[in-house]
Structure 1
Amino acid sequence: MIRKLLVAFGVVELIAPGPIIDVCERIGLENPETAKLRPRANLLARLEGAAFVWVLVRGRDRSPAVSVLLVAAGVLAAVYPDPLIRVSQSFAYENTSELELRPWVKPAARLLGTLYLLVVVLSESGSAPDRPTE
């Protein structure tokens, strides 16, 4: 069930990242109205959605590079989220120095890292056609 929800989330993020970015801005920024998104912000969100779908549908064994990337980002975000927050903000926004983060951004980034790890764990039951059934 959770796996299917994550696949659905990935598909939505892949197709229409704007509303998801808007929600994240309202949740994470004290001043979301001042945020100036770069055009490539949608690309970053789409890549995240594509990674979720790719790993969850194909399985971890058939997606080793994407799985390793999600694990590395997940561990970094869960343990030490500051670099991930800085990099994602500088990639997504033109005016990072003007943005005021809410106090729960670090815990939210840690949760996002945990979500990345969960995606990889759940991907083991990916529906790859050449997997034997037990």
Structure 2
Amino acid sequence: MLRRLLIAFGLIEIITPEPIIRLCERIGLRNPAATQRRPLALTGARVEGLLFVWLLVRGREGSTLVTAGLGLAGLALVLVPRPIIRLSQHLVYVNTDDLELRPWVEPAARLLGVLYLTVTLLSRSTDTETTTDQTHDESDQSSSRLRLRSS
């Protein structure tokens, strides 16, 4: 269920990142109307959504670098959110000095880190399920071949 919700969130973020960014600005800034976004801000949100969907659908198969990167970002957000908040503001906004953060931005950033870590863990469980399913399929095929030989 959680996997499906996160995939849906990722798809929404890919298709229409603007409402999600505006919501985050209203939650995290005292003066959201003062923001001056960089041109690539929407692209960054879309990439984040794409990573979520890709990892949750495909699993870590062939994407250990992406999984590790998202996991490290999540860990950094959980442990030391302030520098990551500053960095992300500089990447997204032209006028970072004009923005006034609300006091709950750090806890919200930690929650985002937990979300990133959750996606990486769920992508790992996809691999486990795939491997288990393949093992069952292979053992079923082996049993069928064994029965055919014995007949």
TM-score of the aligned structures, taking structure 1 as reference length: 0.94
Aligned-partner Cα distance in 2 for 1:127–1:58: 8
Aligned-partner Cα distance in 2 for 1:19–1:9: 12
RMSD: 1.7
Per-residue Cα deviation, 1:73-104 (whole angstroms, up to 9, x for no partner): 00000000112101111111010000000000
- Note if contact 1:70-1:116 (Cα within 8 Å) is conserved in structure 2: yes
- Note if contact 1:54-1:63 (Cα within 8 Å) is conserved in structure 2: no
Q: Which has the larger radius of gyration?
A: 2
Unaligned runs of 5+ in 1: none
Aligned-partner Cα distance in 2 for 1:66–1:123: 11
Report the 3-state secondary structure (helix = DSSP H, G, I; strand = E; otherwise coil) of the residue aligned with 1:131. helix
Aligned-partner Cα distance in 2 for 1:65–1:2: 23
How far off its partner does 1:124 sit? 2.0
Report the 3-state secondary structure (helix = DSSP H, G, I; strand = E; otherwise coil) of the residue aligned with 1:6. helix
Report the 3-state secondary structure (helix = DSSP H, G, I; strand = E; otherwise coil) of the residue aligned with 2:56. helix
- Note if contact 1:35-1:95 (Cα within 8 Å) is conserved in structure 2: yes
Per-residue Cα deviation, 1:19-39 (whole angstroms, up to 9, x for no partner): 000000000000001011111
How far off its partner does 1:53 sit? 0.7
How far off its partner does 1:41 sit? 0.5
Identity %: 53
Aligned-partner Cα distance in 2 for 1:107–1:40: 26
Unaligned runs of 5+ in 2: 137-151
2:43 paired residue number:
43
Greater RCO (Cα-Cα under 8 Å, separation 6 or more): 1
Aligned-partner Cα distance in 2 for 1:20–1:10: 11
Identify which range, 52-61 or 16-25, moves more after superposition: 52-61
Count how many residue pairs are aligned between Structure 1 and Structure 2. Answer: 134
